[in-house]
């Protein structure tokens, strides 16, 4: 099998294409969530804590500078992003439940069930 043919078979598998679509959509969704956090939520948080910028908090230890404020900022952003994703997934699941709730037609009886019904009907007829 040629290298190009083998690569084509690999690239055209459904799971690879699904993964590629997921990565592209995930990147786009990531930009939306980052914009929400950076441009809407963090300014509100900053106003609530009276303009304190966590990114500026640091401690000098010898020649090293420990920027613990960056860690605090990243932690707050993570919590906000995780909550935003939770809300989106919860909304999506709510729509899925409505789709699943649609009544399905009852399954046709199996051969065994048909035979049992015939036996029951024969016994009732006697």
Q: What is the pLDDT of residues 3-37, one digit of tens each?
A: 888 887 777 776 777 888 888 888 888 888 888 88
* pLDDT above 80 for 72: yes
**Percentage with pLDDT > 70 across the chain:** 93
Q: Which pLDDT does position 59 carry in this prediction? A: 92
User: Mean pLDDT across the chain, nearest whole number?
Assistant: 83
User: In a 3-state reduction of DSSP, which class is residue 103?
Assistant: coil
Stronger pLDDT, 75 or 102, i.e. the higher one: 75
Nearest residue to 85 via CA among 30, 25, 23, 28 = 30
pLDDT at 101: 64
CB 52 within 8 A of CB 46: yes
Model-level pTM?
0.50
Please, which residues have CB within 8 angstroms of residue 39's CB and are 6 or more apart in sequence?
Answer: none
Does the pLDDT at position 51 exceed 90?
no
């Amino acid at each position: 099998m040629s290298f190009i043919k083998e690569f084509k078979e690999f690239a055209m598998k459904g799971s690879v294409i699904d993964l590629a679509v997921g990565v592209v959509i995930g990147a786009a969704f990531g930009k939306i969530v980052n914009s929400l956090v950076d441009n809407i939520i963090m300014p509100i948080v900053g106003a609530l804590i009276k303009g304190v910028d966590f990114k500026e908090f640091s401690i000098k230890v010898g020649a090293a500078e420990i920027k613990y404020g960056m860690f605090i900022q990243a932690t707050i952003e993570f919590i906000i992003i995780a909550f935003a994703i939770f809300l989106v997934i919860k909304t999506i699941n709510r729509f899925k439940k409505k789709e699943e709730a649609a009544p399905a037609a009852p399954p046709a009886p199996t051969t065994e069930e048909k035979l049992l019904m015939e036996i029951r009907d024969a016994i009732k007829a006697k």
